[in-house]
Amino acid sequence: MIVTVTANPSVDRTVETDVLRRGAVSRTRPALLDAGGKGVNVARALAANGHRAAAVLPTGGAEGVQLTALLATAGIAVVEVPIAGAVRSNITIAEADGTTTKLNEPGPHLSADERARLIAATLEAARGAEWVALCGSLPLGVPTDFYADLTLRLRAQGVRVAVDSSDDALRAVVAVRPDLVKPNREELADLVGHDVRTLGDVLAAARTLGTTVLASVGAEGALLVTADAAWHAQGARVEPRSTVGAGDALLAGFLAAGEIGPDALAEAVAWGTAAAALPGSRMPTPAELDRAAVRCSPAFDPATTLSET
């Protein structure tokens, strides 16, 4: 069982249009509606590929009802923490050339009691889990050290912890060294305070974090950097339809593989690559994974420049 924690889940609506023109009417194709939030996406990807997953999340308002209904159809065990506020609703606009524009609401305000119940629900759900993944942004009222504190509590239970967050929440949790962090290129640059332009920059930045790093680098795939080794993996070149959730699928594939190493990295890249070619925040199924196209190696050119997309 892999447990995900999404402190700020959402209902995600994705619309596809040929070109988005500001201030003008844009015709779209029918909207896609998905349960959203990074941890929710990780759980959805795991379930779509036959792995047991439990999603811990706060729920409230009409959007919360909608969110849990969407998850119920995906075969995910949902651990709900009722809150007074309403779950947020996000909008993604996907253009034909792969450009993705996201409009994310801040989410509800969680009281001290609601935060405490979210922590308690996580610790209970984590008993016997292979991994716990702490994912996404933090809602209003939640301190930036929330994931860091939860990591320490989970570690005391002997549970492996993976974290995919950003900004101050990511900086705080890196300081307590979870078993795995999964930054993208921009998040890694923010952590180290300078641009990350090449695979060599990614490697150097990851090595300053003091823990295992799974760094997603868009079209160039991903790097896995441990205390004593580093690997690069890249999948087939695909026409990106929506990059929303691709990093979450990458993390799900890595956790599903079990042990930390190049095999897990290759599996992760197969999942992330497949997700990028799908509409909205759809998660890939086994039939959509192209494992044979993934190239994984400890030897790579550090001067390789990263694409802008």
How far the first Cα of the chain sits from its last, in Å, is 33
Q: Go through the chain and tell me how many residues it has.
A: 309
Single-letter code of the amino acid located at 203? L
Output Rg (C-alpha) for the chain, integer angstroms.
Answer: 18
Q: Which residue in the list 12, 34, 145, 248 is annotated as catalytic?
A: 248
The dihedral through the CA atoms of 173, 112, 3, 91 has a sign that is: negative
Single-letter code of the amino acid located at 293? A
Long-range residue pairs from 169-178, CB within 8 A, at least 24 positions apart, any chain: 169/137, 169/138, 169/144, 171/144, 172/144, 172/145, 172/147, 172/148, 173/134, 173/145, 173/147, 173/148, 174/209, 174/210, 174/211, 175/148, 176/148, 176/151, 176/152, 177/210, 177/211, 178/134, 178/151, 178/211
Sequence-distant (6+) residues with CB within 8 A of 99 are 20
Would you call 248 a catalytic residue per the annotation?
yes
Query: Between β-strands 295-297 and 212-216, what pairing exists: parallel, antiparallel or unpaired?
Result: unpaired
Q: 260 with 226: CB under 8 angstroms?
A: yes
The number of angstroms, rounded, from the C-alpha of 36 to the middle of its chain's C-alpha atoms is 10
CA distances to 145, 226, 253, 254, 285 from 222, in Å:
27, 13, 12, 11, 20
With residue 39 as reference, give the H or E element that holds it. helix 38-48
What tokens were used for 266? 């290759």
- What are the catalytic residues? 248
